[in-house]
Structure 1
Amino acid sequence: MATRQTPAQMNEELQKFRDEISCIVVLEQAGYRFDRSESSARHRRFRRVKGDSIIVTHGGKGWWDPHNSASITKGSVIDLVRFLNPGMTLGGARVELRKMLGLTPSGAEYIAEPKTRKPARDPRYMWNNRHAPRRGSAAWTYLTGTRALPEWILDMAVEQGLLREGMKGTAWFAHSDNAGQLTGMEMRGPEYRGFSSGGGGKRLLRLRTGEKEARPVRLVIGESAIDVLSYVTLDPFSFEPSLYVSTGGGMSPEALEEFRALLGTVEPGGRVMIVVDNDAQGDRYEAIYAPMALQAGLTPLRYSPKAEDSDWNTVLQNRARQGVAA
């Protein structure tokens, strides 16, 4: 039968723990290892994982936690055991410390796991590491202010997973293939315009209106994401089940084949709205898309702004300046 210690014996045992057990031993037993790269002669850092470390001081007799703001963040080896085991009583700490009497530090060092970061130009990596713009953010302000896009159309793009915010207020618009895989982003901002695909080539941005499950009766194709969103804003027939796509400029052969396949998803006898700029490039795009629509049994219709060399976002901006409702 265990004998009960007197208060004097208890204090003597606690002092024995402080004198004979190094904080390093306690940390090693808990899975921490010496991080040489972030240690000095006076302060030795022991790390378990990134963001979880303890500083050992006074030659192993003391410690402190650089991450925790709670009241007990430093002390002796006894405090350390209780800190590492929240809720542990002093009696429980004594039981644990008795097991460590006579142990010495192993000297094992912390080795950081190699970073497995994907190449920065991988569009999926870039996309997944960015957040959607929100009211008041730089990209949101650029799109609603400079570009005059209403908030409801940005909400729709965010809801359909088509919009992210990049650096310096740049808006990123997602392009995907017919299988739904992200292939790249149109990038538009106050100081930048481009496309990032990581070498995979352009495909199409796709935004749907009307009933989600309904087969589209219209396919609306434009030259850029901002022009397409502008046209949706101005379109009196956007309530119809429609698929709006942006090519992000000229289409690659792979994108053209995907567009041809996409025409087959439109309701038989439906329309293909070619909403391109009023310029020579718009004429060339019409000459490509209209025959493809006819081959698919659909009716091609071209819609361009009345003013020469104008695009649909310019129309939207002019209406916003004049206070004319879309």
Structure 2
Amino acid sequence: LRDDRHIPEPVIRTAITRNDLREGPHGSMWAAHTDAAGIVTGWEERGPEWRGFATGGSKVLFRLGPADAGRVCVTEAAIDAMSLAAIEANRPDTLYVSTGGGWSPATDAAIRLVAERSEARLVAATDNNVQGDIYADRLLALAEEVGCGAERLRPIASDWNVDLKVRAEARGMEEGGRLPHARRARQG
């Protein structure tokens, strides 16, 4: 996650500490989907070349951040939720969630539950593509239905992880592209 996806260590550590992130077979990442009580309902899986959901589990929400946060950013994948958290410096007023790429009745109920809280603001932080726009429209309609504030937050590239990678690569270029241990040869 850190090397290939550029997700910073503090974001990864936060998810691991909460027992919401595990390493699976073949270097895959498993992100816990939980219900409102914090009970694990299933595992969102992401490998180097594949994605899925653990057999027998049910998609609710992957959650990263304070459960009682007023701002709730809804993404389509746990990697995007963690990437957006990194881009926003893990805002303390924000709960970053992932639907796992689906919209089950349990997912709908979980989003409604957080959107119905007083002071809730739903952020449709879905991918920058047709499917992401469909999810965003659905989230914005849900927010209007329950009476909470809402906005569309769109990544510049196709998704939040690509945006995070571009930022990391740009930082590397600004730093001269040097390795941290490299030193200039002594002249003369």
Work out whether the TM-score is over 0.5: yes
> How much does 1:206 deviate?
1.0
SS in 2 for 1:323: helix
1:187-206 superposed matches below 5 A: 187-198=45-56, 200-206=57-63
Q: Which of 147, 160, 173 matches 1:312? A: 160
**Unaligned segments of structure 2, at least 5 residues:** 175-188
Tell whether 2:145 aligns with 1:287.
Answer: no
Tell whether 2:32 aligns with 1:177.
Answer: no
1:124-143 superposed matches below 5 A: 143=1
Q: 1:246 corresponds to which residue?
A: 98
Tell me if the contact between 2:71 and 2:120 (Cα under 8 Å) persists in the aligned partners: yes
Give, in whole Å, the separation in 2 of the partners of 1:253 and 1:186.
Answer: 17
> 1:278/1:167 Cα in 2 relative to 1: closer, same or farther (>3 Å)?
same
> How much does 1:178 deviate?
2.0
Q: 1:296 corresponds to which residue?
A: 146
> How much does 1:191 deviate?
4.0
Aligned length: 173
Give, in whole Å, the separation in 1 of the partners of 2:100 and 2:22.
Answer: 16
Q: 1:129 corresponds to which residue?
A: none
> 1:151/1:238 Cα in 2 relative to 1: closer, same or farther (>3 Å)?
same
User: TM-score when scaled to structure 1?
Assistant: 0.50
User: TM-score when scaled to structure 2?
Assistant: 0.84
Q: How high is the sequence identity, in percent, across the aligned residues?
A: 39
Give, in whole Å, the separation in 1 of the partners of 2:108 and 2:156.
Answer: 27
Code of the residue aligned with 1:313 in structure 2: it is N
SS in 1 for 2:65: strand
Higher relative contact order (CA 8 A, sep 6+): 2
- For 1:288-320, what per-residue CA distance to the aligned partner results, in whole angstroms no more than 9, with x for missing partners? 11121122221111111224xx10000001111
The root-mean-square deviation of aligned C-alpha atoms, in Å, is 1.9
1:208-223 superposed matches below 5 A: 208-209=65-66, 215-223=68-76
Q: 1:44 corresponds to which residue?
A: none
| Largest Rg, 1 or 2 | 1
1:84-123 superposed matches below 5 A: none
> 1:169/1:319 Cα in 2 relative to 1: closer, same or farther (>3 Å)?
same
Tell me if the contact between 1:269 and 1:297 (Cα under 8 Å) persists in the aligned partners: no
- For 1:44-71, what per-residue CA distance to the aligned partner results, in whole angstroms no more than 9, with x for missing partners? xxxxxxxxxxxxxxxxxxxxxxxxxxxx
